[in-house]
Structure 1
Amino acid sequence: MAVSCDLEVDVNGEEVFMVDKKIVSFYSERINKLFGKSKGLTKSLKVIFNDLPGGAESFELMTRFCYNKGKIDISPLNVSALYCIAHFMEMKESVSGTPNLLQQTEKSLEEIKYWTWSDLLLALRQCHDLQPIASTCGIVNKYLDSLGGRIASCSAELSPCPSTSSPDSSGFRLSCDTRSTESLKNSSFRATWWFDDFVALDPCLIQMLVKSMLSKNIDHGIISRFLFYYQKSRVAAATTSDEKCKITEAVVQMLHSLDPSLVSFKSLLGMLRVSLSLNLSKCCRNQLETVIGSLLDQATLDNLLIPSPVGTKYLYDVNLVLRLLKSFIGKGAFCLPLTRLRKVANLMDLYIAEVAPDPCLKPSKFLAIIKALPDSARLSYDGIYNAIDIYLEVHSGLSEEEKTSVCCGLNYEKLSSEACNHLTKNKKFPSKSAAQALIYQKSKLKSLLKETNRPNSFVNLPSTFVQTNGKAKMDGDCQQIVLYAGKLDISTENERLRVHLQGMQRRVVELEQVCRKMQFQMAKIMKSRLSSQSNAKSLPRLCS
């Protein structure tokens, strides 16, 4: 076959090749379609490829195959490029009984189960420069499927290096052999030894890898640990904000597809704090907050005290916490175990007390946090009462209507006798609240007396509750009511009531002592905090 150089090929603007049109078109159906009918032309021909996979290097491999009469050594080092160029150049027909390039590469890929782990990684990494055809022609899936299978086999073994007698195990012998025997004994290492091998891959390949691992039922906890490791490593090495966003968004999307209960809550919070400085898409933020919110019962107070976004006046990001609570509730509180619900309620009582001193926190927002959880989540509203007490002290300029609105967050039936007693004498609260506290306090005593079959005369205790200057006031307190009850002639069948009332009397005395001490400390703290807030924005911590 005579050799000439009558075809000029411009490959992606990288390099220009002069080839024999007749030889190349003999093996490439794509070239044959373009110039198969130009036999009579003497003028040299030219073709420009702008999207040839692998560029000049891949085209040179293909021409070497053509000029060598359809023969070439295929190995994991070049099989990816040859397979993709064979698809691109449509080298699909058998030539004179000799397998074409596509057939030869496919036969080589059938031996993939005998490849070493490092061979698979090398072939996969070469697919970076062969996109998008590497994904569409299926070669990437072949590599990832093999890698995922070996990770699954490795995870199922006591050691990351199964018997070398198994063909499927040969793929990760090299990776295992490079590590010491002592480190292999470590259970954590057995689960994560492959992490570093995939850090260099693009997010699109990682998404395909995760999909493959999920199909093989690899533990979601291990997959999530890898994704956090990948995100942290890639973001640290990224040079631009756009690159960091792209990586983080891809990882969040993958985490969102996992079982949330098997994902590290601490790592999720770390990603959330990093993402606050990135311009992530709204969809990505929603996905991240949804996963975090579903695990809110694992949070601590410090986890939730996130500074407010730049440009806002309030101290903490209350809107973020509200969104997390919404995600936690999900389809409804009735779908959640009561233990989880009450654990979050206890956490929120602490959080509400922390944000209460914020002078910029509006009453509507403060009330929204209180009412974000259903009433059934709280056994007691004493914590909410204390938080409202702090809020009303800091926001002394609120109107009576605004104060009443804030107090709508209280469930007076779930206030302890001590809290009710304190509320009735608390001048910061509106008169309606004081009246309601007294009503529910009496209601509790009536219910208690009905249980013990006491005469009605005991229910109608003398009330010293009067209206003074439009505000509710009570001359006595719960302690006086308890002392009065203690003086009655209680019969033996009501011994349980007598013991209970005596216990209430002791608790009231102890609580008053503690309250006096707390009020003194709170006054000092609030005085110093309010003075410092006039100079600079601070983050108060009152739960010490």
Structure 2
Amino acid sequence: MTEDYKEENLIVRTETYLNDIVFKNLDKSLEVLRGCDGLDPVVDEVGLVDRCIDAIALNACKEQLVSGLAHLECDGGSGKLRMHCQDWWVEDLSTLRIDYYRRVIAAMGRSGVRPESIGTSIVHYAQTSLKGIERHHVWDSGPLVAGDNQRVIVEALIDLLATENITTVTLAFLFGMLRMAIEVDSGLKYRIEIEKRIGLQLEMASLDDLLIPSVQTSDSMFDIDTVHRILVNFLQRIDEDDSGDLSPCGYDSDGLKSPSHSSILKVGRLMDGYLAEIAPDPYLKLQKFMALIELLPDYARIVDDGLYRAIDIYLKAHPSLTDSECKKLCKLIDCQKLSQDASSHAAQNDRLPIQLVVRVLYFEQLRLKSSFSGSGGVSGVFDGSFSQRIMCSGSGVPSSCVSPQRDNYASMRRENRELKLEISRMRVRLTELEREQGIMKQQGMRDGRHGEHGRAFLASLSRGIGRITMFGPEKRRKKTTTTTSQSQGCSDGKKSRRRRQQKASFAYDS
């Protein structure tokens, strides 16, 4: 086969064929590389695999450049350029085995192939090679039995996303890869890598994305630890964004409409819905449930109605909680951030501790008093609570705006955040009060008559105070008996006097 036997022997002819025909064509290079499967380690020793991989990467880069220039168009006379590119080789690469595919993608990254094309190829390869894995449902018991080949494919694709720094894949694909990594029992570092990427765009996730079933039979129905780590990654990203968005004076340029503030409000609503979904789980531990609630900062929720609903569902699904555990859980609710409907429901909720009911009734009384007293009362209540809530957070711990900090910019950022949150709360409260005042005017509430809302509040107030044992039963029974007898005597006297008057009038008429 060498030239020692005869000129242009088999080796020379093979080299000529590879150089002139195979390596200049992407399709033929892929065909030869697929043919190398099963010929290890001979093909590696002669360098055929490496030469095919380099040829595929180089031809893909050339074809991408030529295709982009051929499809460069002018968009409607506006002067903007638009590029159309069809990477046909994406589908052909999915037929390679995972070790060859991984080396091809690495070579494409070095050759300058666009990350968008590489991301599309990774998604297509995952959809093609992992479609045989069945989904693991919540009601299934035990982990999913998967082959080592599927685990290797999942870990290799996640590693490619990290090494090639691919950021163009969709959030749905990331959640799908995370579920696959959990189901095939991939290493923890691969799951953490996907969780970090999900945390970068958590505000765009849906509730169904977070409902990841747990593969542990003795644990809760849903994978709470994974969601906890994703939320930690999201909050770290928010802190990094906030530290970079500050001006030299320490103030946010966008104010209430800053991207980070809008994102964390979306995540706050998303997590409230997630808490309500996992709350009925009878195996969910109180520590994990509270850890998710405490992880979000106070400014992530303008209104605590969603949090109150989730806690109420948890209390209903876990009647075996002790009084101390109920108090500890309900302390996470800020009564000043409950709406009127939520406050009315909480005032009549027998599952809540009596201390929380009293606080709800107190703040509802302040709100009702401010609505009756007009704008002056409203400003007085808000002015009094504004400074107090700026100095202290909802849990009673002094906020970071009055404590010394190592970084002045960080302290100013937290102070601005609390001010923005308080302004948002005031706007919500003022809107509610204006609406209530308009309704009371339409109903003709004059001369101190409180209307339906006042009667409903007084009824809920009486029901809530009735649960507080301020006096002993003997004193209440005696006072009730005395009052009842006195009222009966007075009513009997009035009835007899009315009969005499009626008889007198009848006699006068006759």
Q: Give the shorter-chain TM-score range.
A: 0.5 to 0.7
Q: Tell me, yes or no, if the aligned pair for 1:293 and 1:327 is still in contact at 8 Å.
A: yes
Q: Amino acid of the residue matched to residue 121 of structure 1? A: L
What do the CA deviations read for 1:65-112 (whole angstroms, capped 9, x no partner)? 43225755646xx43xxxxxxxxxxxxxxxxxxxxxxxx89xx75x68
Q: Pairwise mapping of residues 24-423 of structure 1 onto structure 2 (< 5 A)?
A: 63-68=1-6, 72=10, 74=12, 78-79=14-15, 109=19, 115-125=24-34, 129=39, 130=42, 132-133=44-45, 139-140=51-52, 142-154=54-66, 156-158=68-70, 190-236=85-131, 241-257=147-163, 261-333=167-239, 335=241, 337-423=260-346
Shift of 1:230: 1.1
Shift of 1:394: 1.9
Q: Tell me, yes or no, if the aligned pair for 1:207 and 1:250 is still in contact at 8 Å.
A: yes
Shift of 1:268: 2.4
Residue equivalent to 1:478: none
For the residues of structure 2 that align with 1:503 and 1:392, how far apart are their CA atoms? Answer: 37
For the residues of structure 2 that align with 1:279 and 1:455, how far apart are their CA atoms? Answer: 58
For the residues of structure 1 that align with 2:285 and 2:331, how far apart are their CA atoms? Answer: 15
Shift of 1:278: 1.0
Shift of 1:251: 0.6
Shift of 1:402: 0.3
For the residues of structure 2 that align with 1:457 and 1:73, how far apart are their CA atoms? Answer: 95
Shift of 1:253: 0.9
What do the CA deviations read for 1:486-536 (whole angstroms, capped 9, x no partner)? xxxxxxxxx999844425869996xx8xxxxxxxxxxxxxxxxxxxxxxxx
TM-score, length-scaled by structure 2:
0.59
SS at match of 1:66: coil
SS at match of 2:130: helix
* Structure 1 residue ranges without an equivalent (≥5): 1-62, 80-103, 161-186, 460-494, 513-544
SS at match of 2:331: helix
Shift of 1:355: 1.2
Q: 1:221 to 1:437 in 2, by over 3 A?
A: farther
SS at match of 2:4: helix
What do the CA deviations read for 1:450-485 (whole angstroms, capped 9, x no partner)? 9944599999xxxxxxxxxxxxxxxxxxxxxxxxxx
SS at match of 1:370: helix
Shift of 1:249: 0.8
Q: Pairwise mapping of residues 367-516 of structure 1 onto structure 2 (< 5 A)?
A: 367-441=290-364, 452-454=375-377, 499-503=434-438
Shift of 1:384: 0.5
For the residues of structure 1 that align with 2:370 and 2:67, how far apart are their CA atoms? Answer: 61
Q: Amino acid of the residue matched to residue 26 of structure 2? A: W
What do the CA deviations read for 1:301-326 (whole angstroms, capped 9, x no partner)? 22222322141342222222222222
For the residues of structure 1 that align with 2:6 and 2:122, how far apart are their CA atoms? Answer: 45
Q: Tell me, yes or no, if the aligned pair for 1:124 and 1:143 is still in contact at 8 Å.
A: no
Shift of 1:254: 1.0
Q: Amino acid of the residue matched to residue 277 of structure 1? A: E
For the residues of structure 2 that align with 1:423 and 1:135, how far apart are their CA atoms? Answer: 74
* Structure 2 residue ranges without an equivalent (≥5): 73-81, 134-144, 243-259, 383-429, 444-450, 457-510
For the residues of structure 2 that align with 1:212 and 1:237, how far apart are their CA atoms? Answer: 28
Residue equivalent to 2:77: none
Q: 1:191 to 1:445 in 2, by over 3 A?
A: farther
For the residues of structure 2 that align with 1:370 and 1:240, how far apart are their CA atoms? Answer: 35
For the residues of structure 2 that align with 1:319 and 1:126, how far apart are their CA atoms? Answer: 44
Q: 1:114 to 1:69 in 2, by over 3 A?
A: closer
Shift of 1:201: 2.3
TM-score, length-scaled by structure 1:
0.56
1 or 2, which has the higher helix percentage?
Answer: 2
For the residues of structure 2 that align with 1:244 and 1:497, how far apart are their CA atoms? Answer: 56
Shift of 1:269: 2.4
For the residues of structure 1 that align with 2:172 and 2:359, how far apart are their CA atoms? Answer: 42
| Overall identity of the aligned pairs, in % | 26
RMSD: 4.4
For the residues of structure 1 that align with 2:374 and 2:46, how far apart are their CA atoms? Answer: 78
Q: Amino acid of the residue matched to residue 203 of structure 1? A: I
Q: Tell me: higher relative CO, structure 1 or 2? Use CA pairs within 8 A at least 6 residues apart.
A: 2
For the residues of structure 2 that align with 1:240 and 1:308, how far apart are their CA atoms? Answer: 16
What do the CA deviations read for 1:317-356 (whole angstroms, capped 9, x no partner)? 2222222222322344462722222222211111111111
Shift of 1:127: 5.5
Q: Amino acid of the residue matched to residue 416 of structure 1? A: S
Shift of 1:246: 1.0
Residue equivalent to 1:179: none
Q: 1:134 to 1:231 in 2, by over 3 A?
A: farther
Q: 1:377 to 1:192 in 2, by over 3 A?
A: farther
SS at match of 1:409: coil
Q: 1:375 to 1:456 in 2, by over 3 A?
A: closer
Q: Tell me, yes or no, if the aligned pair for 2:272 and 2:307 is still in contact at 8 Å.
A: yes
Q: Amino acid of the residue matched to residue 355 of structure 1? A: I
What do the CA deviations read for 1:197-216 (whole angstroms, capped 9, x no partner)? 21232323323332333345
What do the CA deviations read for 1:168-219 (whole angstroms, capped 9, x no partner)? xxxxxxxxxxxxxxxxxxx999534212321232323323332333345544
Q: Amino acid of the residue matched to residue 251 of structure 1? A: L
